[in-house]
Structure 1
Amino acid sequence: MTPDASAAPVRADAARCPFDHSALTGQTGPTGCPVTAGAAAFDPFEDGYQQDPPDYVRWSREQEPVFFSPRLGYWVVTRYDDIKAIFRDNLTFSPSIALEKITPTGPEANAVLAQYGFALNRTLVNEDEPAHMPRRRVLMEPFTPEHLKAHEPLVRQLAREYVDRFIDDGRADLVDQMLWEVPLTVALHFLGVPEDDMDQLRQYSIAHTVNTWGRPKPEEQVAVAHAVGNFWQLAGQILDKMRQDPEAPGWMQYGLRQQREHPEVVTDSYLHSMMMAGIVAAHETTANATANAMKLLLQHPHVWREICEDPSLIPNAVEECLRHNGSVAAWRRLVTADTQVGGIDIPAGSKLLIVTSSANHDERHFADADLLDIRRDNASDHLTFGYGSHQCMGKNLARMEMQIFLEEFTRRLPHMRLAEQTFSYVPNTSFRGPEHLWVEWDPARNPERTQPALLRHEQPVRMGEPSRHTVSRPLVVARVTRLTRDVVQLRLVSPHGAPLPRWQPGAHIDIECGDTGLSRQYSLCGDPADTHAFEIAVLRDEASRGGSAWVHDHLREGAALRVRGPRNHFRLDEGAPKLIFVAGGIGITPIAAMAQRAQALGRDYVLHYCGRSRADMPLLAALQARHGARLVVHAKAEGQRADLAALLATPQPGARIYACGPARMLSALEAATAHWPADALRTERFQTDAPTLDPAKEHGFDVELKDSGISVHVPPDQTVLAALKAANIDVPSDCCEGLCGSCEVRVLGGAVDHRDVVLTRAERDAQDRMMVCCSRAAGQRLVLAL
């Protein structure tokens, strides 16, 4: 078994295994590795998983992110980076089992399916290359934003009509009375399917879910098989009717027209299978996602109140709800070749259950992941829609529907509240949403009774995921403390007392500097567990581009400002046996939080703090009181300059060095640690030279965007970031100097000419990521995961 650095502590007699042997069961998995108690007990059909999948597998995310489940016969994967890597590689990790029955049915149920001629074939969800991508491209056009806009009036009309039916009742089951039927009607309209008996289609859809992802009891399997068989025959009948008028609107008719030009790509068997799968996929996930979102928002009244008061927050609230409590709990993949996932050997032929809902709660990617934060700037990184070439084609239709539903509810029923109830779910591994969602309100307080004009207001729908720059967090300066003659410490709080996200040491926030157009990053230096405030310390630097001067000149107690984040590109390795911290001047801000965390963890650490004089070293008194002899002060005025070469002359096994400070100090550190392992030194810079491009010294190159299927040319006088934005590819960015790490992009092919100051030597050597604001291609071509 390959060790995982973040796994549970090991006993001395099990030094090569990452798990505490006292937790083992005596069972072994297919590779001979021991099965832990958590893995043996894992059962996705238990109520705990149905109610809250991320919490149910929290133990796995924290201790055993890849494990074999004897009950399920699957390997289970729970962390964000591992799951995203699986989605990215659809050759090693085939989607072919995505629609396979997770619970094999008995011969009687199989005979029932056979009598209906049930023969569900490959669809876009579960087919491999080379068939998948040509089919996806041929059928993609109706899913583009310009085509989806045509469906917006219908969605708005239906949302209005259905709310009209119960607006004066004071009580409703949102699932039964709206959230199932409206997405189903929209789905049928999109597909071009006539609106037959929707109650029957609902039962068929549930049966399909149970048949594919559930665990029906033997006595239930025959009834489920009859429903699935009838569904299959109905899909065929609808398709036959469509063939009589292929010019009619609808995605299925579009597929019939494409079949004329591409008969080898859009086949009869594909169309029949896609008709059935499409009816489920196009509505069930949206119905469940909206029900989950409404339940979640009403469970957090202060958040519900915020979006009622400011509807512009709805698009990002949708993304955060999809992340926090999405409708897709897990997907499945088949391993086609011996490989590793999260450092664990997985043999060819293995089946994977990839718990995307767990990935969406991974603290390594989402700060304070359990917090519902509708201003989270990376909420749209969620994996609810999958990722890569098999990402959900209908994601933007779902986003549009959810935005319109939330707009209708917040505008017309802002006083809505959850009724007392117990939530139940259809037991299955993958799709989840409450079967009922009872809400209550006082009809006498309906705003439209006194403000009928509000029904005419419409919030623009955002097609696609929100840009990180569209969402910021309003804060107020609660306290300004002068630490030195040119450093102030700011305590920033929510104007309404709402909790702020917990953060990990090394994180920073972006401050919008009023109407200057400037956005600057400042490391958080307070207590990471303090959810009441963010604290930063800012050095006034007259040589800067104006951000620090604006902070010093404009921010006083009571001042309002907007921030984004927190984000972390300078994360502490909490498993390192030895931690060496080096800070220069204002570079103490991220290092102070790291040292506090090291102390709390009981790690072996030392903090070297360098400065001109003690009077010019912010936070010094507090650090001395906290760290005592572990703090070594190097004050130039006292003749105590740090001899970095001598301090780091001997590499220490497993040690990590974290440093932040002036460029000259960090360059000296790089030289002093050149003989250390490549990833031992990790730095954060607060100043760098702005990148400049001399066309006479640069060369043009092409960038292939693997996930978008397009190529972009980058001329000698343009950055990759600028070329991407010109091609309407939204990439987050802030400093544009290779300093903050905001624009990091995964590299799938080609050699990178790294020019940033974010990546470590080992990360640069890996050639699998780059900062597109400054780095370039070393050759003629790069392939990026965009």
Structure 2
Amino acid sequence: MVKAEAPACPYDGSPRYPFDKGESTAELNPIYFELGPGVWPIWMDLADRPAFLVNGHALLKHVFETPDLFHQPVQPIPGVVPLQGSLLAMQGEDHLRVRRPATRQFTRGAVNTRRERLAGQVAAKLDGLAGQERVDLVADFAIPLTLEVLGETLGVPEEALPLFIGWGDRFLNFADPADARAAVMEMCGYIGGQLVEREQNGTRGDMLSAYIEGRGKEVTRQEAVMVGANVIAGGWETTTTMITAMVYYLLTHPEQWRRLIDEPALIPGAVQELLRTRPASGDDGPPRIAARDTELGGVQIPAGSILILGKYGASADPDVFPAPRDVDFERANADDHFAFGAGPHICLGKWLAVAVLEEVLAALTTRHPDLRLTGDPLQWRKRSGARRPERLWVHLS
């Protein structure tokens, strides 16, 4: 008897996703540059099914801004962050209704009124590290800072913030989806208790209180819990990662570090350019599903197809960003990147994250101009939604 051969993969020869195979580094995978702008067939190894990579700036903007045609997945997809039960999974008026009460805490104006407070929080964290021979910029600085800022925004007591580190790590671990879901449930249980406490004892002007007052009353408690969990889970790790990625880049490019010391007015531009060029995610973020047969970039997309959104590849589109691999702190359109997404699901905490990053770079360049790496070997996070070293050991002076 002749043994039958397994059928060939219909996408033989196509790029295999995730491109880094869970082994992330500081740099964007070169495949985004090799493919260039366009819609490319790929094969999702963990899901064992085909997909399309959307890699061009204009193409991705169209996908972000047409959620009725390219919607969030309803069912979990192996190898990508689960969206089910999150704000990202909601569409249309329901999405606006549930998101609206939270937005007053995250507008550009609201964040600007917190600038002095944010600068003080950064300074206090650095004061607490004074005199230490070496510091892990991740665990000793970035994580406690971002958790404090987000916890204050929501109204979570400071003593409870360490719980969210564990929940966030488990949520971002792609290797154990069951534990990721369990972590979300534990986090939601805690936030639900905080909402009950406000209902019983009065509101406080924080984000959770907004879901008990005014238009927040249109939102169910379960939906309000979901938003609180999304803000913490989606905000602390990404901001921690960007602090780590930016400082690592600057300390390994001392001429750029010196420029910010000598020209602090460049810091806002530097933050935007580093957001464009330093990928914070171990993958490309939440995918989309084609609602019906359509055409995108000259490629026929069948209904039900998975679209992987190459937001960092789009941020390297040479038609929008000339010499895209160059890090230019004076690039006029650096903020056209997609680090925060775009369209109705653009990151709720965009302006808060930018403000934190600006205050961190301002404080470090002013207070610790001789900041330097210790030379300890770096171990990059594996099979995680975060693209950063586990530790970043530095000498503050």
TM-score (norm 2): 0.88
Between the aligned partners of 1:401 and 1:177, the Cα distance in structure 2 is 16
Whose strand fraction is larger, Structure 1's or Structure 2's?
1
1:236 aligns with 2:192: yes
1:346 aligns with 2:301: yes
List alignment gaps of at least 5 residues for structure 1.
1-24, 29-34, 106-118, 444-786
Please name the residue that 1:27 is paired with.
9
List alignment gaps of at least 5 residues for structure 2.
1-6
Distance change in 2, residues 1:204/1:362 (3 Å)? same
Whether the 8 Å CA contact 2:40–2:54 is kept in 1: the answer is yes
Distance change in 2, residues 1:223/1:147 (3 Å)? closer
1:196 aligns with 2:159: yes
Whether the 8 Å CA contact 1:333–1:353 is kept in 2: the answer is yes
Pick aligned residue for 1:58 from 12, 18, 33: 33
Aligned-residue RMSD, C-alpha: 2.6
1:166-208 Cα shifts (integer Å, max 9, x gaps): 2333421101111011011000101112223433210101111
Distance change in 2, residues 1:222/1:67 (3 Å)? closer
Distance change in 2, residues 1:137/1:273 (3 Å)? closer
Please name the residue that 2:110 is paired with.
147
Deviation at 1:254, TM superposition (A): 1.1
Equivalences for residues 85-100 of structure 1 within 5 A: 85-96=62-73, 100=76
Pick aligned residue for 2:59 from 63, 67, 82: 82
1:339-359 Cα shifts (integer Å, max 9, x gaps): 122211111112221121111
Please name the residue that 2:211 is paired with.
255
1:215 aligns with 2:175: yes
Please name the residue that 1:310 is paired with.
263
Q: Secondary structure at the match of 2:196?
A: helix
Please name the residue that 1:621 is paired with.
none
> Which stretch shows the higher mean deviation, 134-143 or 431-440?
134-143
1:360 aligns with 2:315: yes
1:437 aligns with 2:383: no
1:330 aligns with 2:290: no
Pick aligned residue for 2:349 from 365, 369, 394: 394
Please name the residue that 1:635 is paired with.
none
1:470-492 Cα shifts (integer Å, max 9, x gaps): xxxxxxxxxxxxxxxxxxxxxxx
Deviation at 1:223, TM superposition (A): 4.8
Q: Secondary structure at the match of 1:66?
A: strand
Q: Secondary structure at the match of 2:211?
A: helix
1:121 aligns with 2:85: yes
Whether the 8 Å CA contact 1:58–1:358 is kept in 2: the answer is yes
Deviation at 1:292, TM superposition (A): 1.1
Equivalences for residues 160-171 of structure 1 within 5 A: 160-171=123-134
1:267 aligns with 2:220: yes
Deviation at 1:252, TM superposition (A): 1.4
Pick aligned residue for 1:132 from 80, 95, 103: 95
> Which stretch shows the higher mean deviation, 279-288 or 379-388?
279-288
Residue identity opposite 1:276 in structure 2 = A
Please name the residue that 1:67 is paired with.
41
Please name the residue that 1:377 is paired with.
332
Q: Secondary structure at the match of 1:68?
A: strand
TM-score (norm 1): 0.46
Between the aligned partners of 2:394 and 2:205, the Cα distance in structure 1 is 36
Deviation at 1:408, TM superposition (A): 0.6
Residue identity opposite 1:215 in structure 2 = A
Residue identity opposite 2:379 in structure 1 = F
Distance change in 2, residues 1:407/1:95 (3 Å)? same
Residue identity opposite 1:190 in structure 2 = T
Deviation at 1:66, TM superposition (A): 1.6
Please name the residue that 1:527 is paired with.
none
Deviation at 1:406, TM superposition (A): 0.4
Deviation at 1:47, TM superposition (A): 4.4
Please name the residue that 1:410 is paired with.
365
Deviation at 1:383, TM superposition (A): 0.4
Whether the 8 Å CA contact 1:246–1:256 is kept in 2: the answer is no
Q: Secondary structure at the match of 1:288?
A: helix
Please name the residue that 2:4 is paired with.
none
Deviation at 1:83, TM superposition (A): 1.2
Please name the residue that 1:42 is paired with.
17
Residue identity opposite 2:269 in structure 1 = N
Whether the 8 Å CA contact 1:319–1:379 is kept in 2: the answer is yes
Distance change in 2, residues 1:277/1:100 (3 Å)? farther
1:285 aligns with 2:245: no
Whether the 8 Å CA contact 1:77–1:354 is kept in 2: the answer is yes
Residue identity opposite 2:271 in structure 1 = V
Equivalences for residues 456-475 of structure 1 within 5 A: none
Quick one: percent identity of the two aligned structures?
23
Equivalences for residues 671-710 of structure 1 within 5 A: none
Between the aligned partners of 2:147 and 2:224, the Cα distance in structure 1 is 19
Distance change in 2, residues 1:139/1:167 (3 Å)? closer
Deviation at 1:141, TM superposition (A): 2.3
1:213-232 Cα shifts (integer Å, max 9, x gaps): x233xxxx555554343223
Larger radius of gyration: 1
Whether the 8 Å CA contact 1:120–1:273 is kept in 2: the answer is no
Distance change in 2, residues 1:140/1:230 (3 Å)? closer
Which structure has more RCO (C-alpha within 8 Å, separation ≥ 6)? Answer: 2
Whose helix fraction is larger, Structure 1's or Structure 2's?
2
Please name the residue that 2:254 is paired with.
301
Between the aligned partners of 2:364 and 2:43, the Cα distance in structure 1 is 42
Distance change in 2, residues 1:38/1:423 (3 Å)? farther
Between the aligned partners of 2:214 and 2:229, the Cα distance in structure 1 is 19
Q: Secondary structure at the match of 1:414?
A: coil
1:181 aligns with 2:144: yes
1:102 aligns with 2:78: yes
Deviation at 1:256, TM superposition (A): 1.7
Q: Which runs of 4+ in 1 moved over 4 A?
A: 47-51, 221-226
